[in-house]
């Protein structure tokens, strides 16, 4: 089942899928390109992991995005801005609740 797809370059797309491979569920992330008949075919390069790796993959991809945003390599997403604001509010509430740094 295709979860997401977005254009890459030269008519290629990046596709994220949850699939089955040898009776196990997998997460499959790879580039697809059209063959001479116009049919999308999976490229050799990609990442295929057992679905059990998905939580850790998501965790480290979020960390990578945050680091890339910090370094100015990508634009901050609205989701990151909201999370950062939420974290800032939590720190502020905790700071005030605990009496500040002198407490």
User: How long is the chain?
Assistant: 103
- The domain locations on the chain are 2-51
Query: Is the distance from CB of 32 to CB of 19 less than 8 angstroms?
Result: no
pLDDT value of position 74: 94
pLDDT value of position 98: 52
Q: What is the DSSP string of 29-43?
A: EEEEEE-TTS-EEEE
Q: Which residue in the block uniquely carries the two structure tokens 């089942």?
A: 1
**Does the domain spanning 2-51 belong to CATH 3.30.1540.20?**
no
| Structure token pair of residue 37 | 């008949």
Whether the model pTM is above 0.75: no
pLDDT value of position 89: 59
With a cut of 70, which residues of the chain have pLDDT below it? 79-103
pLDDT value of position 94: 53
DSSP type of residue 13: E
In which order are the strands placed within the sheet that holds 2-7?
2-7, 13-21, 24-34, 40-50
């Amino acid at each position: 089942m295709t979860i997401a797809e977005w254009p890459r370059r030269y008519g290629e797309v990046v596709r994220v899928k949850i699939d089955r491979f040898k009776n196990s569920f997998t997460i499959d992330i790879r580039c697809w390109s059209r063959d001479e008949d116009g049919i999308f075919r999976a490229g050799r390069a990609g990442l295929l992991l057992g679905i059990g790796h998905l939580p850790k993959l998501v965790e480290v991809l979020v960390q990578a995005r945050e680091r890339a945003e910090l370094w100015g390599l990508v634009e901050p997403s609205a989701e990151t801005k909201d999370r950062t604001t939420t974290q800032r509010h939590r720190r502020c509430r905790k700071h005030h609740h605990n009496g500040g740094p002198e407490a």
